[in-house]
Amino acid sequence: MLDTDEHRDMYRRLWDLVGKDPPVPALYEYAPDMPLDTAACFYTHDGDVLDPRILIGRTPCPAQCTKPDLDRATLNELISLAHERGHERSWREGTYRENSMPEERRAWKHARDILGSMGFKDWDAFAAARESSLAEHGHRGTPE
Ligand SMILES: [Zn+2]
């Protein structure tokens, strides 16, 4: 659970960062290719169709899948959401490279900037999430 008002506010702001063109909405939807410990993903297309979105995996998904579910959100999920917004930033800046280690590290760097600008302070939890996510990509064989 998110136990502070600051975290709840950050989660809501990260969820709602959709005002740019094209918008990149966040929603709860579990995709089978998500690793369980960092259950979130950034997608740019649905097949060939441009459809940028961030999926936050939960089982079961909340009934209202397009609204932030603050009562069951966790600090790890908040950090994952920031990481996916980091991929979004890469994509908007034209540096996004799907499924690559440089992109993963870039998204974590953007996530640190985004969270820092929101007054985030739990950098130990952030560092642990980053390490575990990069290790997971290493195990999966994500290429350099
Ligand atoms: Zn990533």
pLDDT, tens only, 45-97: 999 999 999 999 987 888 899 999 999 999 999 999 999 999 999 999 999 99
Distance 5 CA to ligand 1 centre (A): 26
Distance 86 CA to ligand 1 centre (A): 8
Mean pLDDT of the residues in the chain: 92
Distance 141 CA to ligand 1 centre (A): 14
Name which of 5-14, 19-28, 63-72, 96-105 the model is least confident about: 19-28
Distance 1 CA to ligand 1 centre (A): 22
Please report, for the chain, how many H helices and E strands are present, in that order. Answer: 4, 3
Q: What element of type H or E holds 95?
A: none
Residue 14 is predicted with a pLDDT of 96
pLDDT, tens only, 126-138: 999 999 999 999 9
d(C-alpha 79, C-alpha 132), whole Å: 12
Q: What is the pTM of this model?
A: 0.93
Question: For residues 111 and 86, is the Cβ–Cβ distance under 8 A?
Answer: yes
Distance 132 CA to ligand 1 centre (A): 11
Q: Degrees (nearest 5) of the Cα angle 66, 81, 35?
A: 100
Under the banding of pLDDT at 50, 70 and 90, the label for residue 35 is: low
Question: For residues 110 and 96, is the Cβ–Cβ distance under 8 A?
Answer: no
22 contacts: CB under 8 Å, gap ≥ 6? 50, 52
